[in-house]
Amino acid sequence: MVTVLDSEVDLAGMYRLLVSDGDRTVMLKFSSEPPYEQVEAAFIASLPPEPPEVVAEDGTVL
């Protein structure tokens, strides 16, 4: 569940939403006013990617 803390339209006409899940707050940008589902999906997509596994020559995950 994410919360839209604030929203505005910037000078380029882009919709900017300040979105938080309580732990992380990010600003997301949309070309038009997005439905909640789109905001939530964009928030999830903005999560930092998992770091790649580093595997030793013997196959051990370091």
Q: Which residues in this chain contact another protein in the complex, by CB under 8 A? A: 5-6, 8, 10-14, 18, 20, 24-30, 42, 45-46, 48-49
Using the minimum distance from each CB to another protein, give the nearer residue, 45 or 60: 45
- Pick from 42, 14, 54: nearest CA to 62: 54
Q: How far is the CB of 50 from another protein (least distance, A)?
A: 11
Using the minimum distance from each CB to another protein, give the nearer residue, 37 or 58: 37
Residue 28 CA to residue 41 CA, distance in Å, equals 11
Q: Cα 24–51–17 angle (5° rounding)?
A: 25
